[in-house]
Structure 1
Amino acid sequence: MGGPGDPPEGTPEGGPGGAEDEYRSVVFDESFVRAARLQEFSAEERMADHAPAVRRRPPLHRGLTRQVLILAVLIAIAFGTAIYMGVRHPYSSPQARRPVEPLRMTVIPLAPQGKVPGAADAERLYAHSPAAPFPVGAKGIPLPVSRSTAHFSESQVVAALTIVKNYIVRSSLHPEVITGHEARAARAMVDPEQLAQFDQSFDHPAADGRHAPTGWVVRIDPARARLADEEIRVSGSLRAVEADSATLEVTADHTFVYALLPTGAASDAPASLFTVRRELTFRFDRDDLRTNQLQLVTSYVQAGPLACAEDASSYLRPLLAGQRAGSGGPAGTNPYDSDGATPLCGTLSTQAQPRA
């Protein structure tokens, strides 16, 4: 008996048997048909005068063409990205690092014209002084609105300003630094190539315009005065510009006002105000931005009330409530000393003092 696909009479003699039909299981799906190189003419086409019964179809390259197109698009995107990064990326053109300059500093004492005003209440002193509207602490050191420069991104400019703010806070507002007990908090932020100068300034202070601790930090002589109020008043500004393609420069100009008491005095003793203005210039290369360090290149400090005759390079030695500057002038200048700096002294305006 034949299989279900065999003729009723069985398989003709000499014909292939069901088991021998090797093509019985082959399925000619649509993709197979479309891929055929030969195509039979339709009945209508065969009615025309066609000698051959089939025609040759052109090969299909649709899949290959699509792959080539996708590959070309990807190559174009990669090439365009490489060009963009080469033009805009801040690290695309490495520059030789500018040599780190030593800090140049000027510290100018400001002598009062009469007795230093004082009051038992530090808040009253602040309220009757030009510092009355000043914010307290780090709030007086706001970051300005920042924009990218030709070779530094906006985030790098913000980073430089933030590092400067942190240094100013550490070197001008930390009580342990102000009172002369230690300067490690500020030192940790200094570029390694300036550390030798920093250390020499504190180990061997000199009024030579290079090695005065008071050029690096606000440092009040602990044998002379202490803080009466740790809420230091601050006001000033920060500004960032591009010095060259490898260097950002930040300038800081801030005025700090401290309420002081004589060392060892009772807490209800008359306090006085001590004002320090710091104009600082900082530089950053990309290594500094990466390590959160800075180069302090110029420091211009005015502080008072101070006596002109006293050395202000190692410590600031304020005149306190009820004291006068005396008649002494600044230390003498030796024009033959090429390494020395000319001592300077100014007069503290009465308008800078608290009103009675």
Structure 2
Amino acid sequence: MGTNTPERPSGGGDDGDGAAPVSDEQWAELVRQVESGGAEAPKEPSARARMVTARLRALDAEAAAGRRGRKGDQREAWQPDGWRTGPARQDSKSRSAGRRRLAGVLGIMVVAGALVVTMRPSLVTDHLPGADTSAGTLPAETAPPTAAPADGPVADRPTREEPFRGSPAVRWADGAAGIETPAAKASGGMSEDQVEHALRATRQLLVAANLDPVTLRGEKPREALELLDPLQQGERERLERSIAQPDEKNDPLMMFTRFDPDEARLVGDVVKTRGRMTFEAGATGSVEVHADYTFVYPLLKPGGDEVTRTIVRRRLTTALHDPQRFVSTRDKLSVVGSGQNFMNTDCELDDGFLHPSFPSDGPNRRPAGQEVDPYDRSEWQPDGSCGTVSRT
């Protein structure tokens, strides 16, 4: 079987139609395949085929040139966001506009902050290192005071907005936060846990009897009564009777702070509190808790804006007994003793309410006894005394 050896194209470069030159090695391999019958000799394209190919290549070149012309004013070709880089950056105009908006907002915040500091410099100065923090809340009382406190920071009458204005109580703790219990330890044959319970229960009794809005409104202080031992002879029955039918001998004020809402109402929801609590061993199988606290009540006269303050100081001793040694109810308190000083109230009335005197009431509503300082915790006024207060 004969073979037709292909004729090698002339020239070593491009043939004018864009065809790539054939190397000696490629040509030798092609001849070998044709002579062995493994391939057909390549046929040279006809003149018409070369013309069509050349025209198509020319059209492709014109299209590519047009695309380059339309994109010539772009600085860089678009690329998709990388999976690590996130969204493409905004152009310089967007970044500049964002910076201007941010600068405007920061400028407003700086101006507002400067105005606030100008009006209330203490917001900054009170928190500086070494700053005077005398205007802050006083630390807890840990020992009996030896003198009366100085006047408040402003010697002026209280207002609805500043009900403790001009009072030393402005630096006292708010409500129940001012009643702190000491660290418990075993005492009187009672375990540490039992002593801890006696302290917590006494604190709850003080809060329920002197700070609970229900009690202050003159309603029945059920929570406080539930803390007391029903087996303590006559105590709980006496208190309940005094609430239902108050008189000179059965006065609920001996345990509870109460105001007639038609006569005086609390300004806001803060009562200032200061005092201390201690404990000691009682009879074997009992522990006694001693509490001495002063409460300052800012009061509003109904129908107006006139504000006054009534101050109540209470001394209370409670006991927790071991029911295996005493006739008592487990975890309930017994009242061992109580005393009270009421300041800025009409002491002649025995209706179970405190009756504060307002500046517009005149001298007829004010006690005429010896003048006393209601904030002086270094001295105890005799129970039942009713004098003129030097300040409220």
Distance 1:157 1:289, change over 3 A: farther
Q: Distance in 2 between matches of 1:142 and 1:247?
A: 21
SS at match of 1:131: helix
Partner Cα separation in structure 2 for residue 166 and residue 260 of structure 1: 24
Q: For the residues of structure 1 that align with 2:383 and 2:190, how far apart are their CA atoms?
A: 39
Match of 1:201 in 2: 242
Q: Cα RMSD (Å) of the superposition?
A: 2.6
TM-score of the aligned structures, taking structure 2 as reference length: 0.51
Q: Which residue, 103, 126, 138 being the options, matches 2:176? A: 138
Say how many residue pairs are matched: 218
8 Å contact from structure 2 (residues 322, 328) kept in 1: yes
Shift in Å at residue 225 of structure 1? 0.6
CA contact (8 A) 2:308 2:356 kept: no
Distance 1:286 1:324 in 2: 53
Q: Does 1:285 align with 2:285?
A: no
Contact 1:229 1:258 in 2 (8 A): no
Q: 2:386 aligns with which of 328, 346, 353?
A: 346
Quick one: structure 1 residues 328 and 228, their matched pair in 2 at CA, closer, same or farther if it must change by over 3 Å? closer
SS in structure 2 of the partner of residue 231 of structure 1:
coil
Match of 1:25 in 2: none
Report the counterpart of residue 301 of structure 1 in structure 2: 340
2:212 matched residue in structure 1? 174
Change (3 A) 1:205 1:294: same
Distance 2:292 2:188 in 1: 25
* Structure 2 residue aligned with 1:4: none
Distance 2:212 2:185 in 1: 30
- 2:225 is matched with 187
Report the residue type matching 1:198 in the other structure.
L
Give me the whole-angstrom Cα distance separating, in 2, the residues matched to 1:348 and 1:329: 6
Q: 1:270 aligned to 291, 306, 315, which one?
A: 306
SS at match of 2:259: coil
Supply the AA of the counterpart residue of 2:285.
Answer: A
TM-score (norm 1): 0.56
* Equivalent position of 2:130 in the other structure: none
- The one-letter code of the counterpart of 1:180 is G
1:240 matches 2:270 = no
How far is the alpha carbon of 1:343 from its aligned partner? 8.9
Alpha-carbon distance in structure 2 between the residues aligned to 1:271 and 1:197: 34
Q: Retained in 2: the 8 A contact 1:159–1:289?
A: no
What's the offset of the Cα at 1:286? 2.4
Identify the residue that residue 213 of structure 1 maps to in structure 2: 252
Question: What SS is found at the alignment partner of 1:279?
Answer: strand
Determine the C-alpha separation between the residues in 2 that align with 1:236 and 1:164: 14
Distance in 2 between the 1:313 and 1:243 partners?
35
Equivalent residue number for residue 108 of structure 1:
none
Contact persistence 2:188–2:283 (CA under 8 A): no
What is the match of residue 14 of structure 1? none
- Among 330, 334, 355, the alignment partner of 1:317 is 355
| Paired amino acid for 1:136 | D
The answer to whether the 8 A contact 1:260-1:320 is kept is: no
Q: 1:215·1:299 contact (CA, 8 Å) conserved in 2?
A: yes
Residue 143 of structure 1: SS of its match in structure 2? coil
- Give the aligned partner of residue 147 of structure 1: 185
Give the conservation status (yes or no) of the 8 Å contact 1:259–1:274: yes
What do the CA deviations read for 1:195-246 (whole angstroms, capped 9, x no partner)? 21122111222222xx210112111122311111211110111111111112
**SS of residue matched to 2:279:** strand
Q: Give the letter for the 1:182 counterpart.
A: K
> Going by fraction, where is strand more abundant, 1 or 2?
1
Q: In the aligned structure 1, how far is the partner of 2:313 from the partner of 2:205? A: 15
Q: What is the alpha-carbon distance in structure 2 between the residues aligned to residue 312 and residue 318 of structure 1?
A: 14
Aligned sequence identity (%): 25
